[in-house]
Amino acid sequence: MRIRVLTVLCLGSLANPVLAAPAGDAPGAAAAPTPVVANVRWASHFERPADLVQAVDAIVVAEWRGAREGRIAYLAEGTGIPFTLNAFSAQQVLKGDIAPGAEITLEQTGGRFDEFVVSIDDGGPYTQGRYLLFLDRQEDTGYYLLVNPQGRYKILRDRLLAAKADDAVAERFNGLDLKSALERIRALRER
């Protein structure tokens, strides 16, 4: 059994009253949520694409269908980590027990918590379109989660755009046409 540990380094700021609504808001007016970006340290980080391909539970090309609020993991009184549930429709399955056409739910760290909108450095909220995703399955919920930002690629004009292209694995996939990327993944699975 694999356990995913996500260490959040700066969520203490959620309880910081300095992050309240900006000065100058009219009394009684609804304040816009305050954005908080948390830096995280991912439990899994890969040096080679082959390691990423072998380690994950599923690899899919999927269409994003929408998002809804998920759970909140409470850390201490007044602080917590919100999650967002992203719905995807699997179009192609390169690894895993997901049927093409099946809806999968990806639980993403971040979302609304009280008057804050929390996000982490994983590429931000998903938007309309197709993605190549490297996923792990949560045993207790049946949801999937992104292995780390190395496993998230938006497909634009049939080319991959890495969520974060600043590491060795993402550099190998970023900018590839989808057909070449899928061929590379299949070859790495056969090793």
pLDDT tens across 18-68, in order? 233 344 445 555 678 887 777 667 778 899 999 999 999 999 999 999 999
Q: How many CB atoms lie within 10 A of CB 137?
A: 17
Q: What is the DSSP string of 102-171?
A: -EEEEEEE-EEETTEEEEETTT-S--SEEEEEEEEE-TTTS-EEES-GGGEEEEETTEEEES---SHHHH
| CA atoms of 180 and 187, how far apart (whole Å) | 11
Say if residues 159 and 178 touch (Cβ distance below 8 Å): yes
Answer CATH for 32-190 from 1.10.3470, 1.25.40, 3.40.50, 2.40.50: 2.40.50
| CA atoms of 6 and 148, how far apart (whole Å) | 10
The string of pLDDT tens digits covering residues 62-93 is 999 999 999 998 888 878 888 999 999 999 99
* Burial per residue of 116-125, b for 16 or more beta-carbon CB atoms within 10 angstroms, e otherwise: bbbbbebbee
| pTM of the model as a whole | 0.80
Q: What are phi and psi of 114, to 5 degrees?
A: 55, -120
The string of pLDDT tens digits covering residues 141-179 is 889 998 888 999 999 999 999 998 888 999 999 999 999
